[in-house]
Amino acid sequence: MDGIADMGGTLGWGPLHPPQRDEPVFAEGWQRKAFALAILSSRIASGGINTDAFRHALERLDRAAYLDDGYFGR
């Protein structure tokens, strides 16, 4: 694959930097809460989360929106 969501496999982005062993999962407390709310709301609204459909929707975003909005903006 060579899509915007596959930056680790896309030429020109440089090497991957895996997380450090002691690196927190979320940099700030609000990010943990936002992630939990997103997961819960998607399960309630759709009767169950469809991870493949969600990823496909993200991959269809134009390049500028995908990169400029950041993880929590998407």
Does residue 67 belong to any structural domain of this protein? yes
Quick: pLDDT tens for 16-32. Answer: 778 899 999 998 999 99
Indicate whether this model's pTM tops 0.95.
no
- The answer, yes or no, to whether residue 33 has pLDDT greater than 90, is yes
Residue 36 lies in a domain: no
Is 61 contained in some domain?
yes
Distance of alpha carbon 7 from alpha carbon 62, whole angstroms:
14
Does residue 20 lie within any of the structural domains?
Answer: no
Structure tokens at 73: 């903006």
Structural domain including 67 reads 47-74
Domain count, the chain: 1
What is the percentage of the chain residues whose pLDDT exceeds 70?
74
